[in-house]
Chain A
Amino acid sequence: MRLLHAIRALRGIITRELYRFVHQRERFVSALVRPLVWLFIFAAGFRSTLGVAIIPPYETYILYEVYITPGLLGMIQLFNGMQSSLSMVYDREMGSMRTLLVSPLPRWFLLLGKLSAGTLVSVLQAYTFLLVAWFYEVQAPPAGYAALLPAVVLSGLMLGALGLLLSSFIKQLENFAGVMNFVIFPMFFLSTALYPLWKIQESSELLYTLAQYNPFSQAVELIRFALYGQFNLYACLYTLAALVLFLIAAIIGYNPSKGMMQRKGGAQ
């Protein structure tokens, strides 16, 4: 693979994703409305019932809106990862995925390119959400916004890789709804996005353990700490490990001789 060829291909994949992002305005609006509903309505409603003690990285008592903002950033990226995966299943059914896969580039590179493009879109969505939240007076220290960038890139890649992996397993679009119910909702609710771990532990030791090992929890904690200018090494390594694992599994899934593509037979 020539470097120049790889750079041009990557630029092409990213440009296409950005065009699609611009053209599909409803996708952008819905990606933004979903977390805003949680922030404006859900968080406001639960403000008085869910008290949050002082836990790192916070140094004082915080409003519930402030607590769930990193979780909602994670939610944006989780949905974006799944949306990309949905669009890959759609592309595969409709055929446009084939034009990508028959390109004269290694398949791992094409998948990585697709993943990077999806992550870029999710990062743009995350910062747009933060801008709206800022006007709603959910404000982090200015340096936090810069420190957040590598964190949302890593978490976006990890959640996108999970979507990629799922898309290699899902045979048809109809099966996707089930995966949304079995992946997105458990991942989101069994995490630190809406409530801290100690709160979950108070209710159930099992749920606490599951939430602790949920890679989405670690992605949210990585984002939470970064937004306050702090680095959570454990969350970073955990998210990185999950990214590597999901990505390798997705590449195997898309390998024409070893993976799931082979077994789908007639559907292709």
Chain B
Amino acid sequence: MNAFDAPALSVQRLSYAYGPKLALDAVSFSVNPGECTILLGPNGAGKTTLFALITRLYESRDGLIEIGGFDLKQQSCKALARLGVVFQQPTLDLDLNVEQNLHYHASLHGLSSREAHLRIGEELERQDMFERRHEKVRQLNGGHRRRVEIARALLHRPDVLLLDEPTVGLDVPSRRAIVDYVHRLATEQDIAVLWASHLIDEVHDTDHLIVLHRGKIRAQGTVSQILEAAGSNGIGAAFQLLTREEQ
């Protein structure tokens, strides 16, 4: 398989355990370019562990992760170069301003100062944050900080954008704005998006869904496929049904 005909993100038979406790059990899925995939699961489903493995904070002996066709274990630098991440916890440096934070990230991805400057301008413009580029992150509200983090994740033009519950703690308008923006990104820029959430109202009809529960994938497919499989007419009811039996 070469880098061009592979799915943007491929996870195959991935397992992971904390001691005797199995957190992920033979998880397999893939995300294609231009596709927005929502990883739905209640707390403790294994979403954070899965993200820690895809970002190589942990490494598992069992299973395979490929990003842009590159094996994360064997070609970690090439694979990570194609990955943009928005972590659940805030990861901006509060004492630096917006631009300094973004320049730091750009340098870690090997962008020249000129290139970084141009891309920072573009990404901040796109999110209506350009005027605030000289403000310290500490002065921004939660929604604006998230926008900066998304801009940062896109600076190096990744193939895959990973978002780990990025709307937690935000008010409704900020949440809506981020959900809509990321969905537009996937289609307009052909980025593969994997979005972890436990909020079903963040799902669009065109999304792909993966329902994760207790470390196992309970269902995956388009929204209509999931509804059909669960015999339900709403995502909320389908999600409850798919995660109910062991709760």
**A interface residues with partner B (beta carbon < 8 Å):** 1-2, 4-5, 8-9, 11-13, 15-16, 19-20, 23-24, 94-96, 98-106, 256-257, 261-262, 265-266, 268
Check: B231 CB closer than 8 A to any chain A CB: no
Contact A98 B107 (CB under 8 A): no
Check: B78 CB closer than 8 A to any chain A CB: yes
Contact A12 B107 (CB under 8 A): yes
Given the complex of chains A and B, what is the CA–CA distance between A259 and B141 in angstroms? 36
Count: A-B pairs, CB below 8 Å: 101
New A-B pairs, 18, CB < 8 Å, besides A12-B103, A96-B93, A262-B59 = A4-B110, A8-B112, A12-B108, A15-B103, A15-B107, A19-B95, A20-B96, A23-B96, A95-B87, A98-B57, A98-B89, A99-B105, A103-B108, A104-B78, A104-B79, A257-B61, A261-B58, A265-B19
Contact B77 A104 (CB under 8 A): yes
| A268 contacts across to B, CB distance below 8 A | 52, 57-58
Known A15-B104, A256-B59; contact A103-B109, beta-carbon cutoff 8 A: yes
Given the complex of chains A and B, what is the CA–CA distance between A19 and B96 in angstroms? 7
Known A4-B110, A104-B77, A256-B59; contact A16-B91, beta-carbon cutoff 8 A: no
Min CB–CB distance B46 → chain A (angstroms)? 12
Chain B interface category by residue count: 35 or more
Given the complex of chains A and B, what is the CA–CA distance between A118 and B209 in angstroms? 44
| A99 contacts across to B, CB distance below 8 A | 85, 87, 91, 105, 108, 152
| A8 contacts across to B, CB distance below 8 A | 107, 110-112
Which residues in window 105-156 of B have CB below 8 A to A? 105-112, 152
Contact B100 A261 (CB under 8 A): no
Contact B95 A20 (CB under 8 A): yes
Check: B18 CB closer than 8 A to any chain A CB: yes
Contact A11 B107 (CB under 8 A): yes
Contact A102 B95 (CB under 8 A): no
Contact A16 B110 (CB under 8 A): no
Contact A1 B95 (CB under 8 A): no
Given the complex of chains A and B, what is the CA–CA distance between A265 and B112 in angstroms? 36
Closest to B107 in A: A12
Contact A102 B107 (CB under 8 A): no
Min CB–CB distance B21 → chain A (angstroms)? 9
| B58 contacts across to A, CB distance below 8 A | 256, 261-262, 268
